[in-house]
Amino acid sequence: MDKKLEGLSSSDVAARVARGQVNVDASVKTRSIKQIVVSNVCTLFNAINLILACFVFITGSYKNMLFMIVIVCNTAIGIIQEVRSKRTTDRLSIIASSKVDVMRDGARQEISVDEVVLGDIIVLGRGDQVPSDSVVVHGTCDVNESLLTGESKLVRKEAGSELMSGSFVNAGTVYAQVTHVGADNYAAKISAEAKEHKAVNSEIMNSLNGIIRFVSIIIFPLGAILFAREYFTGAYIELNDAILSSVAALVGMIPEGLILLTSTVLAVAVVRLSRSKVLVQQLYCIETLARVDTLCLDKTGTITTGKMEVDRVVTLGDCDEGEADGAFYSIADADEDPNETAQAIIDYYQDVIPQPGAVRHSRRRTKPSDRSVKKYGIERVIPFSSDKKWSGAVFEGGASYVMGAAQFVLGKDYATVKNRVEELAQNARVMVLARVDGFDDEGRIAGRPQPLALIAIKDQIRSTAAQTIQYFIEQGVDLKVISGDDPRTVSGIAQIVGIPHADAYVDATTLLSDAALENAATCYQVFGRVTPEQKKKLVLALQKEGHTVAMTGDGVNDVLALKASDCSVAMAAGSDAARNVAQLVLVNNDFASMPKVVAEGRRAINNLQRSASLFLVKTVLSMVLAVCFIILPWQYPFQPIQMTLISAFTIGLPSFVLALEPNKDRIKGKFLVNVIVRSLPGSITAILAVLGLNIVSYTTLGLDYAQVSTMCVLVTAWVGLLLIVRLSFPFTPIRAALIVVVIGGVILGSTVFPSLFGIEPFTQSMVVAFAVAAAIAVPVFNLLYQAFGSWHAKRQEELV
């Protein structure tokens, strides 16, 4: 054995391990369970509610602490969802092969990829993934580097050639010496940017955080002023009562159920998508994808499967089809270790070779007609070489053929087939079959090659690609194809799957400045020969124009663009770097899953917008009333437990039912604006009703606090019911049943558990006052709802 192929000795390996020169896993790690728990528990939202609960605890009125149940549920759901996502992510295979063969102490042995050390001699054959950057020391092979460069063309490697980690050996066997390990590997360096934290770009999250920040700024000063006004001035109010009414005002300002609702709805979407083999690694990316107006697609692995297939065989002159088919198949099959191209030819012809006991199936139009394809015996094989770009064979009987790149096979006679080759090469690789006189002792062609046929081999397009592309077109999403391949080939494939204006393509090597690239981003739909850095700049250029951009990819070359995009989608079979940085991972590697993700996002957002308005009614109501009752001489008319009754039946239950219904409408407008517009009619109506009841009850009817509080609770519930009815149009059996349950729940709580919720028996004057307030509330609410709705619809039309 060659001394240089004996590999390291055991002592050499031990020394390198001691120095840390070992191929440790440098991939992105998911957060620990402890980190997940801490981040979900220690939030400003939870802190505010905990402080309020402590004030209630001091009063000894423990029933008024029931609002904390919602807080606990919200936190638990957040933790469970993230832990579930973590475990699913951790189960994904980080590298295609977890074992590798190495030469150590002169013997070949199998070890884990994370046991490889610097200087190891690794043995790589067809189908193996290169675990570390290496240099070939013996043998030759064809390597697929598409995950790294985006270029699907095979690269020939021989002694002295560099092998990049993450690439795959397509054909041949080599011995290679490891030059980098762990974080020093090429793939690890490119994906280093993926490890940096990226803020979540979610309009819903930003809106909710904005509400919480606003509430947190005013809640305690407002609460302190309200408490001081009630306890230290005006009519005498006991300390505990002043605390409870002040806390009730503050609890009402916090849309705690909205946070829970949002987490729950998105968690349900995550579960539904997981059944469709879609892993959601970031909860709010579902919303982002539903808002996307520009989708950037990587060709390999997204539109195509990453495999090759024969598109067609074209005979030239008077060549017999049977001769061409037999020669193509026999030459490809003669290769002991066929590369990707040869394997595509073998697969193309295999189903027309009669097999013992096999049933002949009908074939696609591109397959040979129903005729037997003869497989010739081989006397001599001339293997493929990256230098000569062809392979050949001498068949039994003496006939000799070559198959390869037409320019290299035909030489000066290439002009005779040039036009036909270029026509086929629009979206495929083209090889020529030629009959020759034979080969000399060194394998060179003897005689003048006579071209017989052309075979076009193209990327295998996913069967569902065209349908999926059509879906996004119908949804008004602009599609861009970004690839490292030849732009003409990419354009041809894009046209096949129906991408609009796919004939508008550009070679990214001609875009020499950022300005040229930014201009191209708006002018072209197809980009070829794009570098990883250019992919990122294209995404940023589109975002600069105001677009919400999603990016799909599967290779290390896609990582920078995936990270920069608003929503990133990766294939599970792709590189570990792409999977780690992506917010969504298609576990079944099927781009056809994308419409389901968009549909789930739309259902979640549209329903959340509708349901969130119920929560903001309470928030706006509580804020305005808190300010009013600082000025008015009476006690704030609600207790925390009463707000729980209102929240449970007129907000919580209906919001969850409405939020989980089917809804595929397109997203329109801003989340917060949509929610506020729907909530203001209810808020204004409830504020007017509560203030009116307080004024009349205290100045005219002579009612006490408990009686006034009872009417205020029920009239607020009544206004909430009016909003639920409007949000339920058009009625369905479920929505009708919801309204019945809401009415029944409020009546049940008020009659069966009056002491729990502080509900007093109605007197005649209370009945009259409540009836008048409820009756007036109906036209006022409907008038406001129609006015705000008309204004909002007109505003949206102006923004389109």
CA atoms within 13 A on the CB side of 420: 19
Residues 722/685, Cβ–Cβ less than 8 Å: yes
What gap in Å lies between CA 592 and CA 571, rounded to an integer? 12
Q: What is the dihedral of CA 558, 560, 561, 567, to 10 degrees?
A: 100
**Residue 102: enclosing H or E segment and its boundaries?**
strand 99-104
Instruction: Kindly state the tokens that stand for 92.
Output: 């994904």
298 is catalytic: yes
Tell me which amino acid residue 207 is: S
Angle at 680 between CA 678 and CA 682, to 5 degrees: 90
What gap in Å lies between CA 236 and CA 325, rounded to an integer? 102
DSSP strand pairing (390-395 vs 400-404):
antiparallel
Strand partners, 373: none
Taking residue 358's Cβ as centre, other Cβ atoms within 10 Å add up to 9
The Cα-based distances of 164 to 8, 133, 172, 685 in angstroms read 21, 5, 16, 68
User: How many residues in the chain?
Assistant: 800
Q: What is the dihedral of CA 30, 35, 41, 42, to 10 degrees?
A: -120
What gap in Å lies between CA 452 and CA 239, rounded to an integer? 101
b (16+ CB within 10 A) / e for 195-228:
eeeeeebbbbbebbeebbeebeeebeebbeebbe
Q: What is the dihedral of CA 64, 68, 70, 75, to 10 degrees?
A: 180
What gap in Å lies between CA 464 and CA 131, rounded to an integer? 32
CA 70 distance to own-chain centroid: 29
Instruction: Kindly state the tokens that stand for 790.
Output: 């008309």
Identified catalytic residue from 298, 325, 485, 566: 298
b (16+ CB within 10 A) / e for 427-453:
bbbbbbbbbbeebeeeeebeeebbbbb
Active site residues per annotation:
298
